[in-house]
């Protein structure tokens, strides 16, 4: 039985009441994943003018650099990529805001993007998801680089020297909003990892971290917070972050992530969490098999 078949079976069992562990959806990203920490952005996102009062605090998204790094797809693939991330984001937004007749889930605005192991494409997924969500006209999106040991988001956006999350956790007097950076992508802001420290693990696992995340989500009811987390099986702090987040997106790399690693990662997440699985680098055959399995069409309409 393949990885995706096992994941589908686990989800089917949970929905049938066999296990309360997993309230999950599966989505697919069929484009080749870039190295961990890479990003892609829909070409349709328009540039916004930099704030004239604080131009140094506006992060420029360099599309050509992203394309050169093979993290922005060729023009002929942009539409397909945008469609895939539109499919991924829709249930996350619905759960966060209580749309489509549902009730908002607790802390649903805080979405942790994680993986079982390094190299599965969680940062790639996190950034693509952030750009896709920023297209929503009634939302704002905050992208947090929470993988402080390997801050790939900060590297990609050239923010390694900027103060960020770790600085706020070290200094109780520092307001987290003061280190959040606007970008020239409308409705998208970034919180860098901050300056490295030997006690990063302890800071992420601290009560201060929980308080900061709750402050961020409470400040703006229309803000979606995407937290790029360390891999669940590689670090202990990611499990603390999972206990705070209202929703968790677990990225699984097709034909590479061991099935047992996925099961072990899920076992580290507390009961009742809303979990979505993103199968990264899925082939068209795998995607078609999933939709046939559920008797659904492979062509989704928004």
Structural domain harbouring 135: 3-47+59-293
Residue 298 forms part of a structural domain: no
Give burial (CB, 10 Å; 0-12/13-18/19+) of 267. Answer: exposed
**Tens digit of each residue's pLDDT (9 = 90 or more) over 12-28:** 455 444 333 444 456 66
Contacts of 19 (CB under 8 A, 6+ apart): 10, 13
The pTM assigned to this predicted structure is: 0.80
Residue 52 forms part of a structural domain: no
Residue 54 forms part of a structural domain: no
Residue 300 forms part of a structural domain: no
Residue 272 forms part of a structural domain: yes
CATH number, domain with residue 34: 3.40.50.300
How far does Cα 3 stand from its chain's mean position? 21
Contact, 139 vs 133, CB < 8 A?
yes
Residue 299 forms part of a structural domain: no
Residue 212 forms part of a structural domain: yes
**Tens digit of each residue's pLDDT (9 = 90 or more) over 186-206:** 999 999 999 999 898 899 989
Number of domains the chain contains: 1
pLDDT for residue 294 is more than 70: no
Q: Which of 122-126, 220-224, 234-238, 285-289 has the lowest mean pLDDT?
A: 285-289
Residue 252 forms part of a structural domain: yes
């Amino acid at each position: 039985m393949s990885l995706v078949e096992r994941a589908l079976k686990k989800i089917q069992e949970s929905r049938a009441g066999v296990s309360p562990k997993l309230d999950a959806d599966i989505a697919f990203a069929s484009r080749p994943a870039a190295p961990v920490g890479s990003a892609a952005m829909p070409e349709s996102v328009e540039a916004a003018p930099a704030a004239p009062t604080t131009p140094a605090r506006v992060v420029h998204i360099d599309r050509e650099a992203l394309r050169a790094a093979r993290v922005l797809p060729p023009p002929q693939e942009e539409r397909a990529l945008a469609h895939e991330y539109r499919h991924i984001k829709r249930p996350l937004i619905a759960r966060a805001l209580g749309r489509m007749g549902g009730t908002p889930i607790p802390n649903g605005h805080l979405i942790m993007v994680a993986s079982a192991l390094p190299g599965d494409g969680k940062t790639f997924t996190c950034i693509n998801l952030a750009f896709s969500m920023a297209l929503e006209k009634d939302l704002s999106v905050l992208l947090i680089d929470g993988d402080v040991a390997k801050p790939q988001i900060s590297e990609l956006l050239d923010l390694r020297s900027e103060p960020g999350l770790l600085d706020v956790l070290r200094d109780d007097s520092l307001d987290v909003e003061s280190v959040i950076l606007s970008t020239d992508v409308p409705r998208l802001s970034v919180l860098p990892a901050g300056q490295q420290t030997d006690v990063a693990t302890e800071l992420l696992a601290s009560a201060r971290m929980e308080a900061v995340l709750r402050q961020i989500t409470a400040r703006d009811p229309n803000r979606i917070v995407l937290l790029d987390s360390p891999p669940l099986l590689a670090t202990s702090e990611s499990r603390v972050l999972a206990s705070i987040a209202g929703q968790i997106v677990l990225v699984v790399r097709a034909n590479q992530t061991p099935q047992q690693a996925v099961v072990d990662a899920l076992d580290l997440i507390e009961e009742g969490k809303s979990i979505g699985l993103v199968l990264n680098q899925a082939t068209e055959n795998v995607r078609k098999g999933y939709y046939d399995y559920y008797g659904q069409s492979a062509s989704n309409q928004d």
